[in-house]
Chains A and B, each alone.
Chain A
Amino acid sequence: MTQPTAAMDYARLADRARFIRLETVRLARIAGAGHYSSTFSAAELLAALYYHQLRIDPAQPRWPDRDRFVLSKGHAAIGLYPVLADLGYFDPAELDDYTRLGSPFGDHPDMRKVTGIDFSSGSLGHGLSIGVGMALGGRVQGRDFRVYVMVGDGELAEGQIWEAIMAASHFRLGSLVCIVDRNQLCIDGPTEQVMAVEPLDARFAAFGWQVQRIDGHDLAAITGAFGRLAPPGTGAPQVIIADTIKGKGVARMELDLNWHVGNLGPDDYEAVRAELLAGTGLLAGAGE
């Protein structure tokens, strides 16, 4: 990845979001199951991060000044691995053995096994604390990288998240950007029924964060929010609350609890691929 370009190519980003969904479907079939819907809700966010926003260089995966990305909702790694392969962090063919015995690629990402993963994740509620530490590390070393942490909305019920939210504003970690994939559902039902998280923007604001709330499937809105981020450094930590639809892009999965973890049968697999290739809904709201 090079520096973000001024000319935003929404069609390109939409195509990469489609690629993320298609690859998720493909890899889940290799594993026999996968977190489809949690990944689909984040597809535009991941595409905008990796193909537009992050200051990264796949040729130097350990570049000290690179932006960090922590996928705190690690179960969406199935959608991140193909992006890293596509950008050149490793050979895409390695994904063909996804989750098979000895594969580097599990349902949750392991930074010691997968080049390009900035931190291992999987146990919900940890990632924002990792981001707090990374941002402090940048400050101690005088580096100007940003740290982006993507959390799920159900994950916000974890107490450690709020420890990190407090610490981030206490230390004025302006380099820390939290992205909430507000896809509305956790495993047992809607978050507002299982463990309510709203009013989310007011809660973050009350903890001293700079808040933006956007449509997380609208690429113009996502890149616009990125563009409005304050410069990295000392200041209020920043959160982008991205309202999304769990399962977005595949009609049968949208806001359907049954698809948190699932496995498409052969006929359904082809049908879903066809739906994704038709690009249903992927460009909605992209602006151009």
Chain B
Amino acid sequence: MSEPKVVDSEQSDVFTGVSDAGPKETVKGIATKSIPAFVAGEELADLADADPRVVVMTADLASANRLADFGARHPSRFFDLGIAEKNMITAAAGLASTGLMPFVGTFASFAALLGFEQIRTDCAYPGMPVRVLAHHSGMSLGYYGTSHHALEDLAAMRAVADLTVACAADGNQLRAMLRASLAVPGAVYLRLGRGRDPQVYASVPDDFAFGRAVRLREGADGTIIATGSMVRPSLDAAGLLAERGLAVRIVDLHTIKPLDVAEVLAAAGETGGIVTVEEHNVIGGLGSAVAEVLADHRLGVPLHRHGVADQYVLIGPPAALYAHYRLDAAGIADVVEETLAGSGELGGSA
């Protein structure tokens, strides 16, 4: 296990929570100013300086996802396909077949749900090195509503053979993922937040590897296994739980596939129980993956799958939604405490 330097959110000047610390500037209704985590365009432009395979595509969201930053530096290797996600993903596969490595960005709802067959049949099945940047995942588009939410994408993507599936916790981890992806032979699905994700990693982790989880905090009373957007609030929940006398281990299980089985088994063997936390339906995502590991190894460890309980979420701003569904630090802390006390409801909950 690596021991990364973790940012304390209380001290981080980057952590902005939900309200934006910087001046607000909206592009197509989405605030993009002073957002630290929308780094893919800039990072990929850097990578493309050294790697001629890198090309970038988007579907009329170049401003929202800041892939325009790439286009500004590498205009001949940047393609905006318009509002045509299926064509974009399949065309990326065609590009990849000529020896290039396309990174394609759009909302997770459209990438994974609209473009599922294109990812499966045109990218993963033929082994094309397409990297899908599925941003604004989960319910991070808030009051945009269910059409723009992706609470099912991990379940769908996890079932696709020869596809690497990972969730970035913050901009620094995303940079590490983009760099590591250059060496992945097949297709990759990267699940990203909405670009204003609170920071977890103080710098770009130089030991990042797909499939190798990161233990962010030690504790023996229980383990929170979180992914993507839920890593930061889970860390903060661990702080709250410490005040209540509970020492909780925090594992950033960034890669959903291939899964770090050893790290799940370590949590099962060394701590008092596991709570998985994901901004996703409790069916089919991180919690299901962990449950499968425990079942496959005949382990009767207390497990609670925390996420969205198989429902379409309410209309509301993201912060309000996270609080309502107990996916903020306070909510997660309560769920963990209930689970470890044996008083929580059975099964997955929100």
Q: Could you list which residues of chain A lie within 8 angstroms of chain B, going by C-beta atoms?
A: 64, 68, 70, 110-112, 118-120, 122-123, 126, 129-138, 140-141, 143, 159-160, 163-164, 166-167, 170-171
Q: Select from chain B the residue with minimum beta-carbon distance to A64.
A: B99
Task: Please classify the interface of chain A as helix (H, G, I), strand (E, B), loop, or mixed, using the class held by over half of its residues.
Answer: helix
A166 partner, pick from B55, B84, B100, B118, beta carbons under 8 A: B84
Let me know if B11 is at the binding interface, CB within 8 A. no
Q: Which residues of B91-145 are within 8 A (CB) of A?
A: 91-100, 102, 117-118, 121-122, 125-127
A25 to B99 alpha-carbon distance, docked (Å):
36
Q: Which of B39-47, B73-81, B212-220, B298-306 lies at the interface?
A: B73-81
How far, in whole Å, are A170 and B84 apart by their CA atoms in the complex?
13
Bound-state Cα–Cα, A110 to B92, Å: 18
A129 & B90 in contact (Cβ 8 Å cutoff) = yes
Chain A contacts of B121 at CB under 8 A? Answer: 120, 122-123, 126
B81 touches A167 (CB 8 A): yes
CB 8 Å contact bits of B27-71 with A (1 = contact, 0 = none): 000000000000000000000000000010000000000000000
- Chain B residues engaging chain A, CB cutoff 8 angstroms: 55, 76-77, 79, 81-82, 84, 86-87, 90-100, 102, 117-118, 121-122, 125-127
Q: Could you pull out 12 A-B pairs where Cβ atoms are within 8 angstroms?
A: A111-B126, A126-B90, A129-B91, A131-B94, A133-B102, A134-B95, A136-B94, A136-B95, A137-B98, A140-B55, A143-B98, A164-B90
- Complex CA gap A118/B94 in Å reads 9
Contacts of B76 in A (CB 8 A): 140
**Complex-state Cα separation, A239 to B118, whole angstroms:** 24
In angstroms, how far is the closest chain A Cβ from the Cβ of B243?
54
A133-B125 contact given A123-B117, A141-B98, A160-B86, CB 8 Å threshold: no
Residue of B nearest to A131 (CB): B94
Known: A120-B121, A126-B122, A160-B86. 9 other contacts (CB 8 A): A123-B121, A126-B90, A129-B90, A133-B97, A136-B79, A137-B96, A137-B99, A163-B86, A163-B87
Docked CA distance A151–B145 (Å): 37
A133-B95, A140-B76, A140-B100 as given contacts; A120 in contact with B90, CB under 8 Å: no
Q: Of A119, A120, A129, A171, which is within 8 A of B86 by CB?
A: A129
Is the pair B126, A132 in contact by a Cβ cutoff of 8 Å? no
**Chain B neighbourhood of A140, CB < 8 A:** 55, 76-77, 95, 100
Chain B minimum-CB-distance residue to A129: B90
**Set A68, A70, A129, A137: member contacting B100, Cβ < 8 A:** A137
Residues of A with C-beta under 8 A to B96:
133, 137
Q: Which of the listed residues A119, A126, A171 has the most CB atoms from chain B within 10 Å of its own CB?
A: A126
B97, A134: Cβ atoms under 8 Å? yes
Nearest chain A CB to B327 CB, angstrom units: 35
With a cutoff of 8 Å between Cβ atoms, the chain A residues found around residue B117 in the complex are 123
The closest CB in chain B to the CB of A118 belongs to B97
Check B94–A130 contact: CB distance below 8 A.
yes
Are B127 and A133 in contact, with the CB atoms below 8 A? Answer: no
CA distance A159 to B84 in the complex (A): 10
**CA of A143 to CA of B97, assembled, Å:** 14
Q: A123 vs B116: C-alpha distance in the bound complex, in angstroms?
A: 13
CA A163 to CA B92, docked complex, whole Å: 14
Q: Within the complex, what minimum Cβ distance (angstroms) separates B185 from chain A? A: 12
Which residues of chain A have C-beta atoms less than 8 A from B118's C-beta? 126, 129
B84 contact set on A, CB distance < 8 A: 163, 166-167
- The CA-CA distance from A132 to B81 in the complex, in Å, is 11
- Chain A residues, Cβ within 8 Å of B98: 64, 133-134, 137-138, 141, 143
- Whether the pair B126, A133 counts as a contact (CB closer than 8 A) is no
The answer to whether B87 touches A160 (Cβ under 8 A) is yes
B232, chain A: closest CB distance, angstroms: 36
**B residues in contact with A122, CB < 8 Å:** 121
B86 and A112 within 8 A (CB): no
Chain B neighbourhood of A171, CB < 8 A: 79
The complex places the Cα of A129 from the Cα of B91 at a distance, in Å, of: 5
Which residues of B lie under 8 Å from residue A123 when comparing CB positions? 117, 121
Bound together, the chains give a CA A97 to CA B170 distance in angstroms of 51
A111 to B94, CA, bound (A): 12
Asked if B86 and A132 make an inter-chain contact with CB atoms under 8 angstroms apart, the answer reads: no
Instruction: Give bound CA distance, A171 to B95, whole Å.
Output: 14
A208 CB, nearest partner CB in chain B, Å: 14
Q: Tell me the nearest residue of chain A to B59, going by C-beta.
A: A163
How close is B249's CB to chain A, nearest CB, in angstroms? Answer: 41
Contact of A130 among B99, B122, B127 (CB under 8 A): B122
Instruction: Find out whether the CB atom of A130 lies under 8 angstroms from the CB atom of B91.
Output: yes
Shortest CB distance B172–A (Å): 29
Chain A residues within an 8 Å CB radius of B94: 70, 119, 129-137
B82: chain A residues at CB < 8 Å are 166-167, 170
CB-CB < 8 A to B127: which residues of A? Answer: 112
Known: A136-B79, A166-B84. A130 touches B90 (CB 8 A): yes
Known A140-B55, A166-B84, A167-B81; contact A160-B90, beta-carbon cutoff 8 A: yes
Which chain B residues lie closer than 8 Å to A132 at the CB level?
A: 87, 91, 94
A111 to B126, CA, bound (A): 7
A133: which B residues are within 8 A, CB to CB?
A: 90-98, 102
